[in-house]
Structure 1
């Protein structure tokens, strides 16, 4: 079961990260932002928008599979690790900086996930405080 979660959440993060970064590539390539038919054409003739859609379809099916077995609270929290994977990918792909506030935010996300996982483990093992 542990392998299922590791592979499942790894795939979820991969698909989410692909989706988010592909949307950013689409936005960059479709500039300037203007509400015209030419802009819509630039968006929908860009391969990145379709990569983003595929990423979100993959994330949706992975998420639905995970929810069949994973406890909702920790699963929902773990799914938010995408914020961290997208931040890391953005450094590499878009030359964005990791600022102190981003590091603090990432630390808080990971801490929250760990606390929820510990709480879920205590609940399922019958430990109470």
Structure 2
């Protein structure tokens, strides 16, 4: 049996930009995949991927907080770790990190790290906002100003470079 070339997981194949070209199926016949026929323009694809990344990353942090709130009476140690494994928030957070990892790989496939990494700073905006909405945490003036500076930095560092 001949070995097949390495194929990325389906979620990454679905996020890959498609050209309108037909590809060959296993029988060698040309066909156009359903995803290639309906592929999003690259700009919208990036918006979709970044939205997924920020949503997963933000949700993961909220899930960690939900899990950690179930451990407030324990010091770090084996008992705390054992109890953490029984908490749904911890499991949701772990799954969120797995999802975030795959979306991050899709981002890095198409974008230089020096441009992509600063954009992850958007989570420093969305996490406090969701913590305020969902967990009732406060955002004082100093924190709000810091969030504004982060947004400005993301715009400055993550935008299209004219010399790139």
TM-score class, shorter: 0.7 to 0.9
Q: Report the CA distance between 1:11 and its aligned residue.
A: 0.5
Residues matched between the structures, number: 123
Counterpart position of 1:127: none
* Structure index of larger Rg: 2
Which structure features the higher share of helix residues? 1
Give unpaired runs (5+ residues) of structure 2: 1-41
Query: Which runs of 4 or more aligned residues in structure 1 lie more than 3 Å from their structure 2 counterparts after TM superposition?
Result: 35-38
Is 1:27 aligned to residue 73 of structure 2? no
The structure showing larger relative contact order (alpha-carbon pairs under 8 Å, at least 6 residues apart) is 1
- Quote the RMSD (CA, aligned, Å): 1.5
Paired residues of 2:59 and 2:96 also in contact (CA < 8 A) = yes
| TM-score of the pair, normalised by structure 2 | 0.70
Q: Report the CA distance between 1:36 and its aligned residue.
A: 4.7
Q: Distance in 2 between matches of 1:96 and 1:116?
A: 29
| TM-score of the pair, normalised by structure 1 | 0.87
Counterpart position of 2:162: 122
Q: Report the CA distance between 1:8 and its aligned residue.
A: 0.8
Paired residues of 1:74 and 1:113 also in contact (CA < 8 A) = no
1:62-112 deviations in Å (ceiling 9; x for gaps)? 011101112322311111101111001100121111111111111111111
